[in-house]
């Protein structure tokens, strides 16, 4: 019987590729991953999670389908995944694999694993807590005869950012309590998230750069903990027989676009994620510049394993690109968000179109258009100045929607998931959205809000 390679999948929640030194970030946040991949791995430089956030992101990653194929676009997806589609562990089970999922039990997109393990993923030392359960499980799996898939959902880049010492000061040398620094004022003034931020920001913190440094420090801490798992993999003697994957379900907004320290919106800081692979069986090592999406992960892994499931995936097998060969290109694609706002759009290498399907709680315009070549940080909305481009991209998007609706026999899930917000109906105004959506414990936050007046923050 053929022995297929194991799969060790680091699916790191909320990890922006542009905050990894692996992708050229000027802070050395991922030195261990960098070294590991550079010694025989491949890096995909343009990987996108087109349907954010977590639930639709993982749905696509684990099924090889786009949002029309999964019928999943909302974080608060109601019900399970479509029964007619198979997930990664369900497919691999037919080929003798066992599967373990750490940190993703109860989510619709985590269906099909043989074993589920929880860990302290919302408290300090997240990656260390992961190691406490992941390493014994890896040892157990290494001793079995069957191949395995071990999926680990690391949560360190997901807020709250808990960078332990010395990582909390690794990228910050200032005074986070400087009363003259007002950069966090708009964050504290954003009522939907304020109670949540007050529950984990240091009391009296004034500097947004300090919070960003905690994100980067958390990534660096996680990188060090991940190295422990990679060393264990080698010491167990199964490194050459294991495909190691690094990716993410979506990025993170941090301080950008007024979407503070979360992962809603359709700007590229949320859409662009890492994708890197290392395995002794790779025929090419280096960097791949082709545009890829999370739906490409599963077909690519199956191809590396030598498995032909017979499933017609929406995603592409990217192994020819790993060999330096031509792959069918997909440089423009549909993008969606249904977490704190309900928006969709169309992205090309040059243009980004975003259209709100209902008013959002940031009071942003219904239509946003950005020239990604001239304005890569998406700071200048030119929708009013370029109506012909808006129409052209809208027509491209609507044609794609019609095509996928016809192919799947289902209405676009962005039109049918009307309870995406848990409110029961679409919002009629930005004011209603702003005054309805909320995260955090008001009572716990109230004890800290006396500091707001001292910071000059409006209540």
Q: Does domain 6-185+200-330 have CATH number 3.30.470.20?
A: no
pLDDT value of residue 113: 98
| Two structure tokens written together for 18 | 């542009």
Domain boundary assignment for the chain: 6-185+200-330, 334-431
- pLDDT over 60 at 328, yes or no: yes
pLDDT, average across residues 104-113 = 95
The pLDDT of residue 447 = 57
pLDDT confidence bin for 324, thresholds 50/70/90 = confident
Span 429-455, mean pLDDT?
73
Q: Can you tell me the mean pLDDT for 303-312?
A: 96
Question: What pLDDT score was predicted for residue 445?
Answer: 54
Share the mean pLDDT of the chain: 94
Domain 334-431, CATH: 3.30.1120.10
One fold for 6-185+200-330 and 334-431 = no
Query: pLDDT: is 68 or 422 the higher one?
Result: 68
Tell me the C-alpha distance between 333 and 336, whole Å: 10
pLDDT at 441: 72
Kindly list the strands in the beta sheet with 367-371, ordered across the sheet, starting from the edge strand earlier in the chain: 51-52, 333-338, 342-347, 351-356, 367-371
Asked if the peptide bond before residue 53 counts as cis, ω within 30 degrees of 0, the response is yes
Could you tell me the CA-to-CA distances from 178 to 130, 174, 175, 230, 414 in Å, in that order?
35, 9, 6, 40, 44
Question: For 189-225, what is each residue's pLDDT tens digit?
Answer: 999 999 999 999 999 999 999 999 999 999 999 999 9
pLDDT tens, 345-389?
999 999 999 999 999 999 999 999 999 999 999 999 999 999 999
pLDDT digits (tens, 9 = 90+) for 254-297: 999 999 999 999 999 999 999 999 999 998 878 999 999 999 99
Strands (E), 114-187: 115-117, 148-152
pLDDT value of residue 285 = 74
**pLDDT over threshold 90, residue 457:** no
Is 50 exceeded by the pLDDT of residue 340? yes
| pLDDT given at position 1 | 53
Only one residue has tokens 């016809």, namely: 406
């Amino acid at each position: 019987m053929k022995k297929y390679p194991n799969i060790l999948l680091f699916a790191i929640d909320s990890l922006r590729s542009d905050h990894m030194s692996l992708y050229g970030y000027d802070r050395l946040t991922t030195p261990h991953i960098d070294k590991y991949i550079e010694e025989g791995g491949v890096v995909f430089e343009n990987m996108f999670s087109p349907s954010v956030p977590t639930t639709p992101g993982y749905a696509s990653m684990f099924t090889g389908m786009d949002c029309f194929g999964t019928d999943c676009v909302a974080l608060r997806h109601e019900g399970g995944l479509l029964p007619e589609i198979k997930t990664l562990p369900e497919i691999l089970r037919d080929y003798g694999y066992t599967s373990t999922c750490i940190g993703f039990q109860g989510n619709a997109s985590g269906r099909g694993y043989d074993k589920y393990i929880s860990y302290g993923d919302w408290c300090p030392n997240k990656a260390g807590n992961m190691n406490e359960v992941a390493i014994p499980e890896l040892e157990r799996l290494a001793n079995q005869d069957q191949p395995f898939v071990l999926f680990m959902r690391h949560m360190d880049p997901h807020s709250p950012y808990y960078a332990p010492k010395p990582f909390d000061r690794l990228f910050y040398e200032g005074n986070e309590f400087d009363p003259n620094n007002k950069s966090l004022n708009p964050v504290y003034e954003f009522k939907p998230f304020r109670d949540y931020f007050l529950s984990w920001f240091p009391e009296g913190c004034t500097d947004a750069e300090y919070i960003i440094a905690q994100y980067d420090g958390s990534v660096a801490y996680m990188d060090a903990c991940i190295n422990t798992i990679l060393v264990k993999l080698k010491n167990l003697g199964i490194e050459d027989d294991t495909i190691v994957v690094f990716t993410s379900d979506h990025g993170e907004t941090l301080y950008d676009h007024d979407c503070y320290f979360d992962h809603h919106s359709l700007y590229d800081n949320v859409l662009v994620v890492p994708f890197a692979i290392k395995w002794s069986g790779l025929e090419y090592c280096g960097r791949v510049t082709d545009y890829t999406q999370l739906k490409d992960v599963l077909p690519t892994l199956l191809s590396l394993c030598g498995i032909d499931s017979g499933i017609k995936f929406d995603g592409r097998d990217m192994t020819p690109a790993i060999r330096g060969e031509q792959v069918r290109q997909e440089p423009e694609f549909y993008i969606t968000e249904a977490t704190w706002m309900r928006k969709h759009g169309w992205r090309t290498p040059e243009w980004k179109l975003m259209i709100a399907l209902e008013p959002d709680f940031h009071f942003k315009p219904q239509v946003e258009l950005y020239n990604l070549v001239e304005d890569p940080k998406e700071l200048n909305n030119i929708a009013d100045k370029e109506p012909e481009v808006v129409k052209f991209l809208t027509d491209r998007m609507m044609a794609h929607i019609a095509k996928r609706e016809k192919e799947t026999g289902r209405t676009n899930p962005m039109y049918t998931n009307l309870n995406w917000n848990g409110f029961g109906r679409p919002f009629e105004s930005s004011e209603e959205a702003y005054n309805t959506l909320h995260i955090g414990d008001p009572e716990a936050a109230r004890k800290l809000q006396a500091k707001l007046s001292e910071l000059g923050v409006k209540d």
